[in-house]
């Protein structure tokens, strides 16, 4: 009887663990799908990301549907995904996503609407490499400014030229550049483990050798590949 009881307990434990892993996996897949939907809606807006800017972007971070309920003391955060152009020089096709986390007090101040979507565009290799390694603080570790909007806008200001990350938000149907200085971005290692089934570093996922993109990322990757298949110089 003791052996049978032990086997039963072990079986229940394994079933419970597998169920929890499946739940977490589904959560990350849903975030990827939401990121694809958000990016689709933003790219189809009249005042969207300028083509000039998108073609000079190395990586895109999308954090969908951040809600006011998340912004309480000690819990100012959002979860999303980062996709980059592949290759050491970030000039290849858009590749596998790394799950990301954004945190910070100033980030919470932007959530005046019921739900807010955030988009971060990483402009250069230094900004991308820094973000793939560890947590970065916007405005301190990397230069970040509110991004320009309008498909034909020419972002040629001094602030834009110096910036490594451009930041945007969408709330109540309005897409605009916003300042998120003081907030932090970092790889979500737990999210990556749940999504890919193994402990992978963000740099390994993005630069390889890493996993193939999961089907949940298909829409997001297809949108970016259609909108900006090749990077521009300068």
Report the alpha-carbon angle 202-204-207, nearest 5: 100
Q: Cα–Cα distance between 58 and 127 in angstroms, integer?
A: 9
| Residues listed for the chain | 234
Q: Is the pLDDT confidence value at 51 over 60?
A: yes
Q: Domain range holding 192?
A: 20-227
Q: Is the pLDDT confidence value at 154 over 80?
A: no
Domain count, the chain: 1
Please tell me the pTM assigned to this model: 0.84
Beta carbons of 53 and 119 less than 8 angstroms apart = no
Q: Is residue 186 part of a domain?
A: yes
Q: pLDDT (tens digit, 9 = 90+) per residue, 181-218?
A: 888 899 999 999 999 999 899 999 988 777 999 999 99
Q: Say what the pLDDT of residue 220 is.
A: 97
Q: Is residue 2 part of a domain?
A: no
Q: Is the pLDDT confidence value at 41 over 90?
A: yes
Q: Say what the pLDDT of residue 75 is.
A: 46
Distances (CA, A) of 197 to 18, 91, 136, 145, 192: 11, 28, 26, 35, 8
């Amino acid at each position: 009887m003791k052996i049978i009881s032990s086997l039963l307990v072990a079986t229940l434990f394994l079933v419970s663990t597998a169920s929890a892993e499946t739940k977490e996996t589904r959560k990350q897949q849903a975030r990827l799908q939401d990121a694809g939907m958000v990016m689709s809606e933003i790219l189809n807006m009249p005042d969207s990301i300028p083509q000039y800017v998108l073609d000079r972007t190395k990586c895109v971070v999308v954090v969908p549907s951040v809600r006011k309920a998340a912004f309480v003391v000690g819990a100012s955060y959002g979860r999303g995904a980062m996709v980059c152009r592949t290759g050491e020089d970030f000039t290849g096709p858009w590749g596998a996503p790394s799950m990301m986390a954004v945190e910070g007090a100033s980030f919470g101040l932007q959530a005046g609407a019921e739900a807010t979507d955030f988009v971060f565009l990483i402009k250069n290799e230094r900004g991308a490499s820094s973000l793939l390694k560890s947590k970065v603080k916007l405005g301190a570790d990397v230069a970040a400014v509110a991004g320009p909007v309008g498909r034909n806008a020419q972002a040629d200001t001094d602030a834009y030229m110096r910036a490594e990350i451009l930041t945007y938000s969408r709330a109540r149907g309005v897409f605009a550049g916003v300042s998120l200085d003081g907030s932090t971005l970092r790889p979500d290692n737990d999210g990556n483990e749940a999504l890919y089934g193994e402990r992978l570093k963000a740099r390994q996922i993005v630069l390889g050798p890493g996993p193939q993109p999961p089907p949940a990322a298909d829409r997001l990757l297809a949108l970016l590949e259609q909108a900006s298949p090749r990077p521009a110089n300068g």
